[in-house]
Chain A
Amino acid sequence: MTVRVQQSDFDVGAELAALRGANPRVGAIASFVGLARDLNEGCEVLDITLEHYPGMTERALEDIVAQARQRWDVIDALIVHRTGLIAPLEQIVLVAVTSMHRHDAFEACRYLIDYLKTDAPFWKKERSPDGSRWVEARASDEQARAAWQRGEPRK
Chain B
Amino acid sequence: MKLSVLYFARLRDAIGHSGEDIEVPADVTTVGELRSWLVQRGAPWSAAFAQVRPIRVAMDQVMAPDATRLRDGAEVAFFPPVTGG
Contacts and interface: CB of A to CB of B under 8 A. Distances in A.
Interface of A: 34, 50-53, 55-56, 59, 81, 92-93, 113, 116-125, 134-137
Contact of B84 (A55, A81, A134, A136): A81
Contacts of B8: 51, 53, 121, 123
Nearest 5 Cβ contacts at the A-B interface: A122-B84, A137-B81, A123-B9, A56-B61, A134-B10
Contacts, number: 70
Contact of A93 (B61, B80, B82, B85): B85
Interface residues of B, number: 17
B85 A117 contact: yes
Interface of B: 6, 8-10, 13, 58, 61-63, 77, 79-85
B83 A53 contact: no
A125 B84 CA distance: 10
B82 A120 contact: yes
Contact of B77 (A53, A118, A122, A125): A53
Given A121-B58, A123-B8, A123-B9, A56 B77 contact: yes
Given A56-B77, A121-B8, A123-B8, A50 B61 contact: no
Contact of A118 (B6, B9, B80, B82): B82
Given A34-B85, A134-B9, A121 B79 contact: yes
29 contacts: A52-B84, A53-B8, A53-B58, A53-B61, A55-B61, A56-B58, A81-B84, A92-B85, A93-B85, A113-B85, A117-B85, A118-B82, A119-B82, A121-B77, A121-B79, A121-B84, A122-B82, A122-B83, A122-B84, A122-B85, A123-B80, A123-B84, A124-B84, A125-B9, A134-B9, A134-B10, A137-B81, A137-B82, A137-B83
